[in-house]
Every structure is written in C-alpha cells, then in structure tokens.
Amino acid sequence: MTKEEKLSRWEDVREIKNLMGRMSADYVLKKEKQMPDRYWSKADDVSLGVNNGYFLGQDGIRKYYDGQDARICAESAMIQTAFPQELGSKSKEEVHGVGMIDYKPIDTAVIEVAQDRKTAKGIWMIRGSHSQILTCGPVAYWEWGYFAADFVYEEKEWKIWHLLYLSEIDHPCGQPFTKERLSFKGRAEFANADKIVLPEPDVPMQVRETYSAKRPFQRSPRLPQPYRTFTETFSYGYEGELRHEKPRFA
C-alpha cells in the first residue's frame, strides 16, 4: 500500500473506534431513541442480533430502540414516584434515565477494513454493568458480552450495517454466576415493573444463551480477518444465518 492508502485506513479505523465509543457513551446517557439515526446505515438489510433473535430492516431497528426508550421512560416514572420529594416536581425530560446505570465499556478491539474500503468489520468485548427495575426496585447487574459489527461506508461516514449485541453474563451483582438468582421483597412503587414488555425480535431464535452452570459450550463471535471485498468474508448479520455461516462463531 502507498502511504496515502495506509493513512486512509488509519483514519477509517479511528472513525470506527470513535463511532463505537460514542455509542457506548450514549448508553450511559440513555439516548437509545437517537441511536438509529446517529449510528446505523440507511440500508434496507440492516440487522441487529441479540441473544433471543434478530431485528430486521429499518423498522426492526427502530422497534428495538423505541422499546428500550419506552422501558427507560416507564422505569423513570416509577423512580420518580418512589422519590417524590427529590423528583416529584421534575418534568419527564428531567427524570429520563434518573437513578439508572448502563455502563458498556468496550475493549480488545479487532477491526479490519476491506481493501475496497466500502465495508469494515469489528469486534469488541463488553465488561460493564447496568441496572434493571424489578418489583423490588433497582437491581444492579453485571454485563459481559460482545459487540460484533459489519460497517458500511455511506455518505462519507462509517455506519453500522449489521450488529451482534450478545450478552455472555447478565447476572445480579453480588450473586454467584453459577447459582439461581435471588428474589427480593416487592415494593408498591415498583409494582408495575412486571408489566414492562420489550418488543419481540422479528426472527425469534436463540442466538446465544447467557452463562449458567448448566449451559453447554458456546462459541464466541469470530474475529475479523483481512479481506478484499464483503462477498469474500462472513457476515455478522441475519444474512449469515440464512447462508448458514457457522464460521462467524469460532
């Protein structure tokens, strides 16, 4: 490669790292509602794979993030009710995400840009924590897992084309990962927590089972390898399922 080509690739990798870093920061700030427009491609065949299935196309991606935003709003309202003195006079916008944590630090990046610079692939490990409102109130969870993505260069920017967001460990803090989760006494302010229902994937299926003492061995998402053009590599998207690309897990 020429020096100019090497510089262009360095800039591509830098932009992809910054994209994922900004998205990680937006999870902390509870900006899920804005993620489709900020980070995702406008392509019709975008896909998001989570542990229990795939969300497909523009409508599927928005359905997923709208559902997350609706959950945040409902949980914020319950916390506002639980703390009337501190939060009772606040607007919905002011209490959005109050008392919550969703920390997804990402590391161990492996990024490969196609030789034609039209697409790229990347994988990151997540070692973070998040809170979830149960009928007992907020409960902190460990979250370890993966972001594995195909990117496309679109309108002079890198955007997410396919994303696997897979949890390896999603377990309450302070409890052994190998044992059943402990239950806590309910509180009236959080009685509606059981009524929060997230949207079902467009294609329900078990993409990954979270860790337990009884879980069979699970292969990790495959690391990207150098490639010339996307037709010569595997896909982290639902199209990989359609083509039976088991090598994307290694």
List of residues 6+ apart from 149 with CB closer than 8 A: 20, 121, 122, 123, 160, 161, 162, 163, 164, 236
Res. 247 pLDDT band, cuts 50 70 90: low
Range of the domain at 172: 3-248
Grouping H, G, I as helix, E, B as strand and the rest as coil, residue 75 is helix
State the total domains in the chain. Answer: 1
Q: What is the pLDDT of residues 184-199, one digit of tens each?
A: 889 998 999 999 999 9
Closest C-alpha among 24, 222, 235, 48 to residue 123: 222
Measured CA to CA, the distance from residue 1 to residue 154 in angstroms comes to: 23
Q: What pLDDT is recorded for position 246?
A: 55
What is the model's pTM? 0.93
Query: Which residues have a Cβ under 8 Å from the Cβ of 217 and sit 6 or more positions away?
Result: none
Which are the contacts of 9, defined by CB distance < 8 A and separation ≥ 6?
Answer: 1, 113, 117
| Banded pLDDT at 4 (limits 50, 70, 90) | confident
Using the 8-state DSSP alphabet, how is residue 125 labeled?
A: E
Over residues 78-84, mean pLDDT: 93
